[in-house]
Amino acid sequence: MENSIDQLNKVLFETLEQAKNKTVDAAHVKNITNISSQILNSAKLQFDFHQYNDGLTKMKIMPGKGQLEIDSKSVIPEKDLTDYEKKCIVAEKLNYNSVGRAISDLTKEVFDQKVKEHFSI
């Protein structure tokens, strides 16, 4: 399967058409839209990450959810993370789709404190 925004749009519009024609049940439509939302939230986080770093990053894309854990099996050693990468990790752990949204909801001071606590800074 091709992993692109074009493929996502194709699936979404096909699902919409099937729902309109009542050839698919509501649970299937809900599953497709929920998965699509998660894909888009991930893309937004990646875009924020690249935009913040002017496109100059150590990674081509952010690792998938669950790969950002900082422990003995971590994909990226903590010492190699930039401040913004750390903020991205904490924002995701707090269920925000971007650092900006986390700061907006929590205030910068509270969010920075959560980052310090998470990374024991």
Over residues 10-46, the pLDDT tens digits come to 888 899 899 999 999 989 889 888 888 888 888 777 7
What is the enclosing helix (H) or strand (E) of 102?
Answer: helix 99-106
Q: Assign residue 120 a region (left: φ > 0; alpha: ψ between -120 and 50; beta: otherwise).
A: left
Number of domain units in the chain:
1
Please tell me which residue, 38 or 54, carries the higher pLDDT value: 38
- Residue 99: pLDDT band with limits 50, 70, 90: confident
What's the confidence (pLDDT) of residue 71? 37
Q: Which domain holds residue 22?
A: 5-119
- If you average pLDDT over residues 2-8, what whole number do you get? 75
Which pairs from 92-98 meet CB under 8 Å and 24+ separation?
Answer: 92/45, 92/65, 92/68, 93/118, 97/41, 97/44, 97/45, 98/44, 98/45, 98/48
Measured CA to CA, the distance from residue 72 to residue 78 in angstroms comes to 10
pTM over 0.75: no
Measured CA to CA, the distance from residue 44 to residue 121 in angstroms comes to 27
